[in-house]
Structure 1
Amino acid sequence: MSDVDLAVDSGQALLNLVDTARAHRLIVDGERLLPAARDKTRGVSLTYRAPEPP
């Protein structure tokens, strides 16, 4: 597992635990490490940061 995957997946897990501030930091950090070839992964991680509907 790469550092990118670890950061984004950890962020997703924290979202599930409602630790949103820390989760978003990890997801953003992971996105910054993504090479252009991983645009699909970037798209998936962006959905993690989308706000939940009311």
Structure 2
Amino acid sequence: MGLLLRPVRTALLLALAFAAGIFWERSNQGDRCLDAGGALRNGLCIGARE
């Protein structure tokens, strides 16, 4: 029984790690946008200076 659940557990852990990475990157992108003087609208950075 343990051998059957191991691939499922691995796939679940990979999916959770991927989702955590997505949220982490979105947060960092938002911080960079705000630091550049922009504003986030619908996930896009508007009005940032380069």
Q: Which band: TM-score by shorter chain?
A: 0.3 to 0.5
Q: Which structure has more RCO (C-alpha within 8 Å, separation ≥ 6)? A: 1
TM-score by length of 1: 0.36
TM-score by length of 2: 0.39
Q: Which has the higher helix share?
A: 1
Greater Rg by CA: 2
